[in-house]
Amino acid sequence: MNNNDLKFVGVEAGGTSICLTIAINEPSNVIERISIPTTTVEETKNKVLEWLKSKGGDNIDAIGIASFGPIDLDESSETYGYITTTPKPNWGQTNILGWFSDYKCPKGFDTDVNGAAISETFHGRHKRGDITSCAYITVGTGVGVGCVVNGACIHGLVHPEGGHTFTKIKEGDNDFQGTCPFHKNCVEGLVSTGAISSRLGITADKLSEITDDHPVWLVIGYYLAQLCANITCLLSPQIIVLGGGVLNRSVLYPIIRRETIKILNGYIKTKYLTDEFIDQYIVQSPFGSHAGSIGSLELARRALIKSKNNN
């Protein structure tokens, strides 16, 4: 590493694990990566900070934190930088941005899925080339939706919470009440790992043993297609990228694509909502499981640019 090189740290905080990355000069130039289990707040915080210190924390140019949510993005708020009403037990009202208060470098802060949407928009490797709008959906412990429109993340009252929108219940699925502690049968309550496990009466670690031809995947794909259709109608992104542990199940992609076209029923006229081109609209991330970590590094890069522009 040369004296003029820039050192970015990315913190992708997920409900299951926290991915820490170090990149030099460009977010895609990752030189270090580690995953730390998301256990208790204090234990997780200590492990994160210990690792950063061991990697020369004094020489960081910018940090990007892309966190599971909901989070407070209002810089005028007393709880800016906090994880707020998360369904994850004992993590509500956690000042995750405050973990890094000893580091005086610029810091970027956003949701983990907004971070992933940024990485897909600005560092993507999609067949369609350059894009300026993207929706990123992650399905795992929870369901998150990040959105970039005209090159910028969507912020408003807070940030998009597409995982907690509601769907039309699939015929024959009325007996399943959903697992979301806030809404029961919102999208997250119907398709998260906990929801799938509950449907099947197994623990989450046994999901990998469920075969691709099990009918549960038709149900999960149907609800995720409704989410894709709703996002298409509301935001009209150029691309929808799917990620997260549940979406490692490749059998879901043709189901989601097929059901999305069926739900929209020819109303929105574009070649990308046809059988021939739908695989260029609803896609798997070319970054695989690292989309969010690249996004957190992009948040760091942007924070540094903003700091320089303000000085």
139 and 246 co-located in one domain: yes
86 and 165 co-located in one domain: no
**Using 50, 70 and 90 to split pLDDT, how confident is the model at 98?**
very high
**Using 50, 70 and 90 to split pLDDT, how confident is the model at 156?**
confident
149 and 87 co-located in one domain: no
Would 1 be classed as within a structural domain?
Answer: no
294 and 265 co-located in one domain: no
Would 122 be classed as within a structural domain?
Answer: no
Taking the alpha carbons of 246, 9, 82, 34 in that order, is the dihedral positive or negative? Answer: positive
166 and 271 co-located in one domain: yes
Instruction: Look at residue 49 in the predicted model and tell me its pLDDT.
Output: 96
Exposed, middle or buried by CB within 10 Å (0-12, 13-18, 19+), for 213? exposed
Peptide bond between residue 215 and the one before it cis (omega within 30 degrees of 0) = no
Taking the alpha carbons of 120, 121, 127, 128 in that order, is the dihedral positive or negative? Answer: positive
194 and 55 co-located in one domain: no
Instruction: Look at residue 58 in the predicted model and tell me its pLDDT.
Output: 75
Would 2 be classed as within a structural domain?
Answer: no
70 and 136 co-located in one domain: no
Instruction: Look at residue 141 in the predicted model and tell me its pLDDT.
Output: 85
- Which H/E stretch holds residue 253? helix 252-264
Would 200 be classed as within a structural domain?
Answer: yes
Higher pLDDT, 250 or 159: 250
Q: Are 23 and 29 in contact (CB under 8 A)?
A: yes
90 and 226 co-located in one domain: no
Range with the poorest average pLDDT among 126-130, 161-165, 256-260: 126-130
242 and 182 co-located in one domain: yes
Q: Which two tokens stand for residue 90?
A: 């004992």
Residue 127 has pLDDT above 80, yes or no: no
CATH number, domain with residue 18: 3.30.420.40
Residue 217 has pLDDT above 90, yes or no: yes
Would 212 be classed as within a structural domain?
Answer: yes
231 and 200 co-located in one domain: yes
Instruction: Look at residue 1 in the predicted model and tell me its pLDDT.
Output: 65
Please list the alpha-helical segments (H only) found in 82-206. 112-122, 187-191, 193-200
- Mean predicted confidence (pLDDT) in 121-126: 70
- Mean predicted confidence (pLDDT) in 267-287: 93
**What are the pLDDT digits (tens) for 33-89?**
999 999 999 999 999 999 999 988 778 999 999 999 899 999 999 999 999 988 888
How many domains does the chain fold into?
Answer: 2
Instruction: Look at residue 131 in the predicted model and tell me its pLDDT.
Output: 84
Pairwise CA distance, residues 41 & 165, whole Å: 28
**Using 50, 70 and 90 to split pLDDT, how confident is the model at 124?**
low
**What are the pLDDT digits (tens) for 163-203?**
999 999 999 999 999 999 999 999 999 999 999 999 999 99
Range with the poorest average pLDDT among 83-92, 154-163, 232-241: 154-163
Residue 130 has pLDDT above 90, yes or no: no
Pairwise CA distance, residues 175 & 110, whole Å: 36
**Using 50, 70 and 90 to split pLDDT, how confident is the model at 286?**
confident
Question: Range of 256's domain?
Answer: 127-285
Instruction: Look at residue 126 in the predicted model and tell me its pLDDT.
Output: 67
pTM of the full predicted structure?
0.83
Mean pLDDT of the chain: 92
Residue 91 has pLDDT above 90, yes or no: yes
Pairwise CA distance, residues 224 & 259, whole Å: 9
232 and 215 co-located in one domain: yes
96 and 144 co-located in one domain: no
Q: Which two tokens stand for residue 182?
A: 């806030």
Residue 249 has pLDDT above 80, yes or no: yes
Residue 283 has pLDDT above 70, yes or no: yes
What percentage of the chain exceeds 90 in pLDDT? Answer: 73
Would 120 be classed as within a structural domain?
Answer: no
- Tell me the residue length of the chain: 311
| Category of 56 on φ-ψ map: left (φ > 0), alpha (ψ -120 to 50) or beta | left
Instruction: Look at residue 4 in the predicted model and tell me its pLDDT.
Output: 82
